[in-house]
Amino acid sequence: MEFSMYLTSLPLRVEREIPHDTKARSHRLMVQAGFIQQTSAGIFSFSTLLWSVIRRIEKIIREELNAIGFQELMMPALQPTNLWRESGRLEHFQREHTMLSLRDRKDQEFCMGSTYEEVLIDLCRHFVSSYRQLPFRLYQISEKFRDDLRPRFGLVRARQFRMKDGYSFDLNEGGMHVAYQETREAYNKIFERCGISFVVFSDLRGSIGSTFAEKYMARTTEGEESFIHCTHCNFTANYEGSPYCPQCHAATEPLTALELGHIFELGPHYPEKMGALVADNNGRLSPIWMGDFGIGVSRIPVAIIEQYMDDCGMNWPFHLAPIQIAVVPVMPTNENQVSAASAIARTIKTTFGFETYVDNRAQSFGSRLKDLDFVGSQLQIVVGDRLDNGEVDVQQRNGLNKTTVPIANIVTTIENLTKGVHQ
Amino acid sequence: MRLSQSFFVTQRNYSDELTTVSHRLMVQAGMLFQVTGGIYIIGHFLTKVIQKITDLVRTEMNTIDAQEISMPILQPKSLWVESRRWDQYKNQGLMFTLRDRKEAEYCLSPTNEELAVDFIRNRIISYRQLPCAIYQFGEKFRDEIRPRFGLMRGREFTMKDAYSFHESPKDLEEWYAKFRNAYANVLNRLNLRFGIVEADNGEMGGTKSEEFMAIADAGEDELVFCSSCGSAVNVEKAGKKDQCTKCGSMEIRISRGIEIGHIFQLGGYYSKNMGLTFTSKDGTEEPIIMGCYGMGISRLAAAVVEQSHDENGIIWPSVIAPFDAIVIPARPSEIAVNAAIRLYEDLKDQGIDCILDDRDASAAVKFKDADLTGIPWKIIVGKTFESNGEVELKDRRSKNSTQMKPDNVARFLLENQGD
């Protein structure tokens, strides 16, 4: 066996009882399906099924960023706090108390990575001195830390979460604009490929030193975060009490949405402060121009759940479903059924690469199907009495479009049902 | 990827402090940048190598039916108090700890037995769900007194850690053997020379453990390796140093080794302390028997470089090389440059992971950098192309070269990738 395919080995266990401390529905569903397990407030372990969704999302992100010349690297979670003194951002972050910090055995102070401008500007000032070395674009996908005062809504306001952070480095403002526009296009493709319905807002306030910024927001039905959105000038911001737009003073509309991405033209501010200067072709020194591009990776499954869920539980676009195909022996104690189910699962997995599992758990057939619908298994192949005639039933989630198919035709059937899906 | 549009920094000179080959070559090749003692930025090329090692390990873990999950770096003190390891680890001084805004105390993952038990105790109730195994790739932290040797003794590093759960010690022994075998498969696929050493369980507790040691001059232990049975013994414990203490073979060699994996039969220690039980066939509540299995992923990259390099730089085995090939326009003429770009685009379309060295630099500099970074094939578009339309392919390991028309390069590379 070259892959694991039995749901008993995960193990998968769906909790029918609704957990009491979950306000948002997406959070509730994830807890019930065991996708996340809280180890302390706002800090979670991810189950095999959730992790497999996140890894496929990361693959999409990597493909789109690599296509426009971003280079992936790995940066440390521990950052020397001194770098933040130099950039002048330390006070701001300390005032908000969101930075987790610690001292090592030699009393050197570190903070847990939340963003990496300082670390990369430090790298640039050591190794980049000429315009010939520019431009370039760097990114990483890693754990980030934020000591939120009130961690809540599961992966939405977590204290440790997965983020993609990317940075562009250019000689001048024009180069930075190009990087920004290309990354913007890549972001559109990423969120489209994740099947998310999203809106992009300009965020004129941005953060310190930035000139232009936009946010990628997934519309959600429940209120993780409330925003005011001005339909007049497209301004949007976290709700701060006033119903009027601070930009143009028009009336605003309330909006429930989840922020998934934030891109901004950071400009030369921090490189200048930290002395990351490059010589142009006349030998003149000037600071590097930076662009800054984030994606809240572990929020993407939340947005998908919010947008796709129904009364039976979670639902997914096929290519991101945690269980794409479940092969279900009606009697898990019937060896013929289990071995036929295993053979079918193996064939599908090796032919298509889909996330395929045999549901051999010791629960009633009905309760297993209910669990599968709950976690959002897209296709279910039921191996029951028809096995004697060499046939199985194929159905979509929630028992839809059930047909009886000869086992010999299973590959063609799956091919037709999943046309256009690239694993 | 075009090098002219990339962050790519190589260094010919190096500091005397870089005393081990892997550390020195990784720094010179722009793969490793120190942020502060024992803490690094891992450059793009090395990131790709580590991802390929990760995929290789993942395949072996999935093959034995272990399930990949993801556990957090920040671990609450409360879980470590349950397992009765907090004071011991804290007093030892190698664990990073911090307090949050509410003064709650955490450690940065040194190892994950506590979290693994916590994950499983919410899911496993019955003997029917056993055995099972989980694993993850994650950052680990260790506040070393003297961080050194780059990725070999860093303060933050990537590890694969796995945990298995069983009804009985006998079942644990079976799974332990499966993991042991999977580890050997990984190391063989990386072409690493290694030995397996019986080891102390130390602070992990439990009954039996073994270390996987890769042969390397930079290693911190001196070992007697047996070429016949593959076992290894610490020199201090070997007694007579002219034959294998396991099988008696005389085919031994004394070398230094670096630990790249450590596997443990833990038994019931964590289960008893943390209340991890299952309902047995007879209906009684029994503690789950555990095993745990660590592998140093970033250290594996260092071990490979220790064993596979020459005077010009790193020689990556193609299975984990950062790129399959590098296309080098070696003449400034328009005809050579354009042909190199065309070939690079064409190779990419055919699924060859290659880079183009289109920097404004001399051919000599480009050759040196290609050798330093250890890419398996150099594809040189130079004089021979200008005269008879052929490019030169140079094998990094054997230094053999061969000439062919650009149209034949993709097929040649696809047929000559395995080493």
Among B7, B35, B47, the residue with its CB nearest the CB of A76 is: B35
Place of tokens 């439990």: B206
Contact B365, B328 (CB under 8 A): no
| The pLDDT value given to residue B232 | 86
pLDDT, tens digit, 9 for 90 and up, residues B358-411? 999 999 999 999 999 999 999 999 999 999 999 999 999 999 999 999 999 999
Burial label, B381 (beta-carbon count in 10 A; 0-12, 13-18, 19+) = buried
Predicted TM-score of the model (pTM): 0.95
**Chain B, nearest residue to A169 by Cα:** B7
pLDDT, tens digit, 9 for 90 and up, residues B31-60? 999 999 999 999 999 999 999 999 999 999
Chain A residues touching B62 at Cβ < 8 A: 2-4
| The pLDDT value given to residue A2 | 45
Contact B65 A37 (CB under 8 A): no
Contact B115 A128 (CB under 8 A): no
**Chain A, nearest residue to B90 by Cα:** A105
Task: Name all domains of chain A by residue range, CATH numbers in brackets.
Answer: 51-308 (3.30.930.10), 313-417 (3.40.50.800)
Structure tokens at A20: 């009491």
Distance from CA of A41 to the nearest CA of B (A): 10
**A368 membership: H or E segment, kind and range:** helix A365-375
Structure tokens at B271: 């289960």
- Separation of alpha carbons A421 and B391, rounded Å: 39
Contact B6 A136 (CB under 8 A): yes
| The pLDDT value given to residue B138 | 97
* Cα B313 off chain centre by: 19
CA distances A365 to A38, A329, A369, A383, A387, Å, are: 30, 8, 6, 11, 16
Contact A74 B75 (CB under 8 A): no
Residue A204 binned pLDDT confidence (cut-offs 50, 70, 90): low
- Separation of alpha carbons A354 and A418, rounded Å: 10
pLDDT, tens digit, 9 for 90 and up, residues B311-351? 999 999 999 999 999 999 999 999 999 999 999 999 999 99
Q: Is the pLDDT of residue B239 over 90?
A: no
**Chain B, nearest residue to A134 by Cα:** B5
Average pLDDT of the residues of chain B: 94
Percent of chain A with pLDDT over 70: 95
Chain A residues touching B115 at Cβ < 8 A: 39, 45
DSSP for residue A133: G
Distance from CA of A248 to the nearest CA of B (A): 38
- Separation of alpha carbons A359 and A1, rounded Å: 17
Residue A250 binned pLDDT confidence (cut-offs 50, 70, 90): confident
**Chain A, nearest residue to B77 by Cα:** A40
Percent of chain B with pLDDT over 90: 83
Best of A2, A8, A9, A148 to disrupt the B interface (most B CBs within 10 Å) is A9
pLDDT, tens digit, 9 for 90 and up, residues A76-87? 999 999 999 999
Q: What is the mean pLDDT of residues B278-291?
A: 96
Q: A11 — phi, psi (to 5°)?
A: -85, 150
Best of B81, B100, B124, B157 to disrupt the A interface (most A CBs within 10 Å) is B100
Best of A73, A116, A355 to disrupt the B interface (most B CBs within 10 Å) is A73
Structure tokens at B286: 């029994």
Contact A9 B132 (CB under 8 A): yes
Q: Is the pLDDT of residue A228 over 90?
A: no
Among B47, B62, B73, the residue with its CB nearest the CB of A160 is: B73
Q: Is the pLDDT of residue B284 over 50?
A: yes
How is B144-158 classified by DSSP, letter by letter?
Answer: -SS-BTGGGB-SEEE
| The pLDDT value given to residue A211 | 66
Q: Is the pLDDT of residue A233 over 90?
A: no
Q: Is the pLDDT of residue A1 over 50?
A: no
Chain B residues touching A6 at Cβ < 8 A: 65
Place of tokens 């020689």: B315
Q: Is the pLDDT of residue B298 over 50?
A: yes
pLDDT, tens digit, 9 for 90 and up, residues A366-381? 999 999 999 999 999 9
Residue A32 binned pLDDT confidence (cut-offs 50, 70, 90): very high
CB burial of B262-280 (b: ≥16 within 10 Å; e: otherwise) equals bbbbbbbbbbebbebbbee
| The pLDDT value given to residue A84 | 95
Chain B residues touching A47 at Cβ < 8 A: 69
Higher pLDDT, B167 or A219: B167
**A94 membership: H or E segment, kind and range:** helix A90-96
Task: Name residue A379's amino acid.
Answer: L
Q: Is the pLDDT of residue B269 over 90?
A: yes
Distance from CA of B6 to the nearest CA of A (A): 5
Contact A392, A415 (CB under 8 A): no
pLDDT, tens digit, 9 for 90 and up, residues A16-25? 888 888 888 9
How is A245-266 classified by DSSP, letter by letter?
Answer: -TTT--B-EEEEEEEEEEEEEE
- Separation of alpha carbons A210 and A288, rounded Å: 14
- Separation of alpha carbons A133 and A344, rounded Å: 53
Q: Is the pLDDT of residue B231 over 90?
A: no
- Separation of alpha carbons B21 and B8, rounded Å: 20
> How many CB pairs lie under 8 A apart between chains A and B?
164
Chain A residues touching B1 at Cβ < 8 A: 69, 71
DSSP for residue B182: H
Higher pLDDT, A264 or B205: A264
Residue A223 binned pLDDT confidence (cut-offs 50, 70, 90): low
Contact B124 A39 (CB under 8 A): no
Q: Are strands B105-108 and B74-76 parallel, antiparallel or unpaired?
A: antiparallel
Q: Is the pLDDT of residue A14 over 70?
A: yes
Of the listed ranges A112-126, A243-257, B48-62, B78-92, the one predicted with least confidence: A243-257
Classify the C-alpha dihedral B333-B335-B336-B339 as positive or negative: positive
Contact B122 A128 (CB under 8 A): no
| The pLDDT value given to residue B123 | 87
How is B49-76 classified by DSSP, letter by letter?
Answer: HHHHHHHHHHHHHHHTT-EE-B--SEEE
Q: What is the mean pLDDT of residues A257-273?
A: 94
- Separation of alpha carbons A338 and A281, rounded Å: 70
**Chain A, nearest residue to B45 by Cα:** A73
Contact A4 B47 (CB under 8 A): no
How is B349-369 classified by DSSP, letter by letter?
Answer: HTT--EEE--SSS-HHHHHHH
Structure tokens at B7: 């962050």
| The pLDDT value given to residue A23 | 83
Structure tokens at B415: 């047929």
| The pLDDT value given to residue B419 | 53
DSSP for residue B206: S
**Chain B, nearest residue to A162 by Cα:** B72
pLDDT, tens digit, 9 for 90 and up, residues B107-120? 999 999 999 999 99
CA distances A180 to A26, A67, A183, A292, Å, are: 32, 14, 5, 8
**Chain B, nearest residue to A95 by Cα:** B101
Residue A173 binned pLDDT confidence (cut-offs 50, 70, 90): very high
Among B65, B96, B359, the residue with its CB nearest the CB of A9 is: B65
Which residues does residue B141 pair with via DSSP β-bridges, in sequence order?
B156
C-alpha angle B261/B266/B271, rounded to 5°? 135
Distance from CA of A373 to the nearest CA of B (A): 19
Higher pLDDT, B279 or B250: B279
Q: Is the pLDDT of residue A118 over 80?
A: yes
Chain A residues touching B97 at Cβ < 8 A: 102
Chain B residues touching A37 at Cβ < 8 A: 118-119, 122
Cα torsion through A136, A140, A146, A150, rounded to 10: 120
Higher pLDDT, A398 or B220: A398
Average pLDDT of the residues of chain A: 92
Q: Is the pLDDT of residue B299 over 60?
A: yes
Q: B147: cis peptide before it, omega within 30°?
A: no
Among B5, B40, B98, the residue with its CB nearest the CB of A136 is: B5
**E strand residue ranges, A211-301:** 212-219, 226-229, 236-238, 253-267, 277-279, 285-287, 289-295
Terminal Cα-to-Cα distance of chain B (whole angstroms) = 24
| The pLDDT value given to residue B130 | 92
Residue B250 binned pLDDT confidence (cut-offs 50, 70, 90): confident
